[in-house]
Amino acid sequence: MLALQIIWFLLVGILIIGYAILDGFDLGVGFWHLFAKKKGERSAFIESIEPFWDGNEVWLLTGGGALFAAFPPVYATVFSGFYLALMLVLLGLILRAVAIEFRNKVDSPGWTKAWDYAFAFGSILPSILFGVAIGNVLRGLELNEIGDYTGGFFALLNPFSLLCGLVGLAMFAMHGALYLSMKLEGEIAADARRWASRAWMVFVVLFMVATIWGALGFFYNITAVPLVLALFAVLASVSSFVFNRAGRAVAAFVSSCETIVFTMLAVAAALFPYMVPCTNNPDWSLTINNSSSSQLTLTSMLVIALIGMPIVLAYTVFIHRVFKGKVEVREE
Partner 1 sequence: MDAVLLARIQFALTIGFHYIFPPLTIGLGWMLFVYHTLYRKTQSPVYRQLAHFWTKMFAINFVVGVATGITMEFQFGTNWAAYSRFVGDIFGAPLAAEGVFAFFLESSFLGILVYGEKKVSKTVYWISSLMVALGATLSAFWIVVANSWQQTPAGYEVVDGRAVLTNFAEAVFNPSTVVRYLHVVAAALVVGTFFILGVSAWMVLKKKHGDFAKQSLKSAFIPCMVAIVIVMGVGHPHAIQVAETQPAKLAAFEGLWETQTNAPALLFGIPNAEEERTDFALEIPGGLSMLIDGTTTREVQGLKDFAPEDRPPLGITFFSFHSMVYLGVWFFLIAFGGFVLLKMGKLYENRLYLMAATLTVPLPFFANELGWIAAEVGRQPWVVYNELRTSNAISASVPPGQVLASIIMFTLIYALLFGVWWFLLKRQFNKGPESIESIKGEVE
Residues of this chain that interact with partner 1 (CB under 8 A) are 50-52, 54-55, 57-58, 60-62, 64-73, 75-81, 83-84, 86-87, 90-91, 93-95, 97-98, 100-102, 105-106, 146-150, 153, 293-294, 296-297, 300-301, 304-305, 308-309, 311-312, 315-316, 318-319, 322-323
Report d(CA 259, CA 145) in Å as an integer: 37
In the complex, least distance from residue 73 CB atom to partner 1, rounded to whole angstroms = 6
| Segment 277-284 long-range contacts (CB within 8 Å, at least 24 positions apart) | 277/137, 277/139, 277/140, 277/141, 277/220, 278/140, 278/141, 278/142, 278/143, 279/139, 279/140, 279/141, 279/142, 280/142, 280/143, 281/143, 284/143, 284/144, 284/145, 284/147
In the complex, least distance from residue 72 CB atom to partner 1, rounded to whole angstroms = 2
131, 132, 159, 224 from 210: Cα distances, Å: 11, 12, 10, 16
Indicate the angle between helix axes 159-183 and 224-245, nearest 10 degrees: 40
Which of 223, 280 has the CB closer to partner 1?
280
In the complex, least distance from residue 255 CB atom to partner 1, rounded to whole angstroms = 26
Which of 20, 206 has the CB closer to partner 1?
20
Which of 216, 283 has the CB closer to partner 1?
283
Which of 197, 279 has the CB closer to partner 1?
279
Which of 56, 211 has the CB closer to partner 1?
56
Are 175 and 25 in contact, with CB atoms under 8 Å apart?
Answer: yes
Report d(CA 223, CA 82) in Å as an integer: 28
In the complex, least distance from residue 68 CB atom to partner 1, rounded to whole angstroms = 3
Report d(CA 215, CA 223) in Å as an integer: 9
In the complex, least distance from residue 327 CB atom to partner 1, rounded to whole angstroms = 11
In the complex, least distance from residue 115 CB atom to partner 1, rounded to whole angstroms = 9
For residue 63, what are the contacts with CB-CB under 8 A and spacing of at least 6? 12, 15, 16, 18, 19
Indicate the angle between helix axes 159-183 and 3-32, nearest 10 degrees: 70
Which of 63, 214 has the CB closer to partner 1?
63
Which of 223, 300 has the CB closer to partner 1?
300
Where do the H-state alpha helices sit in the chain? Answer: 3-32, 39-49, 53-70, 72-81, 83-102, 109-139, 159-183, 186-217, 224-245, 249-271, 295-322
In the complex, least distance from residue 119 CB atom to partner 1, rounded to whole angstroms = 13
Which of 215, 302 has the CB closer to partner 1?
302
In the complex, least distance from residue 272 CB atom to partner 1, rounded to whole angstroms = 21
Cα within 13 Å of Cα(8), Cβ side: 33
